[in-house]
Amino acid sequence: MDTPDAHRAIDAVWRIESARLIAGLTRIVRDMGLAEDLAQDALVAALEQWPATGVPDKPGAWLMATAKHRAIDRLRRERMIEQKHLEIANELEAAQAVAPDLEAAIDDEVFFGDDMLRLMFIACHPVLAVEARVALTLRVIGGLTTPEIARAFLVPEPTIAQRIVRAKRTLAEARVPFEIPRGAALAERISSVLGVIYLVFNEGYSATAGDDLMRPALCEDALRLGRILAELAPQEPEVHGLVALMEIQASRARARVNAAGEPILLLEQNRSRWDALLIQRGLAALKRAEALSGTLGEYALQAAIAACHARARTAAETDWERIAALYDALAQLHPSPVVELNRAVAHGFAFGPAAGLELVDALQAEGSLESYHLLPSVRGELLSQLGRLDEARAELARAAAMTRNARERKMLLERAAGLPERP
């Protein structure tokens, strides 16, 4: 096999197999950092051997076998102080002798599904800061390299590298067990995992900084993580709720920007460009969430709101009263200033701009969103609908000055300039 072709094949295999490989190794050595090192050792071996020998029929099994041999060699060679490491090495040697059918073990989806779920719970453990959870999840579950993560979030590579190293050190020092939590701990950790995945998706869907409105690769990574989690935890309604929300939001990607990359607001988008397959997948996931729980959770409620837009053939057919009611429920279940701002928008469409402005003004007086550019943006739109054009222009200009996204800034300034002057 030509070296370039081999390297492309190895890269593709690594993207598919790396998370399962690290998960399986973490179960064995009980140390995520060591597991990733061993996986990288196996990757290096593949880069050395596969260009000459070709890609094995079962590349995942080959990588796992190689990593296990490296684990035995490494643990024996280093003669680690802790007796448990020597015991692990002995167990590995015994397992190699009595279980030669490694390929069958590698293909045991239930076994490795549990490992993947445990790895997700470790990477998103609450002992880590949110930024560290995101970086570690994209690294070990998403299979992204440090430079790819740094580019995606417009953060220097050394910063991302330090986050990953510190995260693994923190997990090791905290002795986080390689297990699926139970009871109240499960609910807490599921919430953490979902929060990380949605944070990644949102950064891709509406970039907080830079020259582009969207970073599609991040949306794709988040969707992939969500779909994996839905397969690993099929009885968790909020997992399906989040997947539904991301599928439906992602369906609008092609319609959200014009040919020049400039943003197009939701109600002005060409709905024929929305991805019908993603909408169908999203609605199916929402149906699963509804079937599993009589009361919709935070993500399922947001998915139900997105579904209202997805089902409307035109902007005029949007059921704003239902959307307002869903936001009312979301505000009670998961109160936050951002939810209140979205609720104000919905009430403005459902019951008139004055009703929406009343809610926005209350938020502005409360002060928690004083540095959030969408607050003056929404207020400016409502003021323009009420004919208070000078105030609207000032609010839109203020929003433009606050955003760090160049595309949004341009759109807001154009919107302010396009408002008619008072006679």
How far apart, in whole angstroms, are the C-alpha atoms of residue 200 and residue 220? 10
| pLDDT tens per residue, range 58-99 | 888 899 889 888 888 777 766 555 555 666 666 666 655 544
Q: Which of 148, 142, 139 is nearest to 166 (CA)?
A: 139
Q: DSSP letters of 263-280?
A: B--GGGS-GGGS-HHHHH
Q: Quote the pLDDT of residue 104.
A: 43
Q: Write the CA distances from 378 to 52, 157, 399, integer angstroms.
A: 60, 35, 9
CATH number listed for the domain at residues 344-423: 1.25.40
Q: Residue 382 pLDDT > 70, yes or no? A: yes
Q: Quote the pLDDT of residue 228.
A: 86
353 compared with 139, residue with greater pLDDT:
353
| pLDDT tens per residue, range 199-215 | 888 878 876 656 666 67
In this structure, are residues 79 and 58 in contact, taking their beta carbons and an 8 Å threshold?
no
| pLDDT tens per residue, range 142-159 | 777 888 788 767 789 999
How far apart, in whole angstroms, are the C-alpha atoms of residue 411 and residue 264? 9
Which amino acid, 344? A
In this structure, are residues 195 and 222 in contact, taking their beta carbons and an 8 Å threshold?
no
In this structure, are residues 153 and 138 in contact, taking their beta carbons and an 8 Å threshold?
no
- 275 Cβ contact partners less than 8 Å away, ≥ 6 residues apart: 250, 251, 252, 253, 254
How far apart, in whole angstroms, are the C-alpha atoms of residue 147 and residue 266? 33
Backbone dihedral angles phi then psi of residue 252, each to the nearest 5 degrees: -90, 0
Q: Residue 341 pLDDT > 60, yes or no? A: yes
Q: How confident is the model at residue 110 (pLDDT cuts 50, 70, 90)?
A: very low
107 compared with 372, residue with greater pLDDT:
372
Greatest mean pLDDT among 43-57, 200-214, 312-326 lies in 312-326
How far apart, in whole angstroms, are the C-alpha atoms of residue 226 and residue 221? 9
Q: Quote the pLDDT of residue 112.
A: 41
Average pLDDT for 185-189 = 77
How far apart, in whole angstroms, are the C-alpha atoms of residue 297 and residue 195? 13
Q: Quote the pLDDT of residue 356.
A: 97
- 36 Cβ contact partners less than 8 Å away, ≥ 6 residues apart: 22, 139, 140, 168
- Tell me which DSSP letter residue 31 carries: -
Domain ranges, ordered by start, for the chain = 1-107, 344-423
In this structure, are residues 360 and 341 in contact, taking their beta carbons and an 8 Å threshold?
yes
- Taken in order 218, 220, 226, 228, the sign of the CA dihedral is negative
| pLDDT tens per residue, range 243-287 | 999 999 999 999 998 888 888 889 999 999 999 999 999 999 999
Which amino acid, 135? A
Average pLDDT for 23-36 = 85
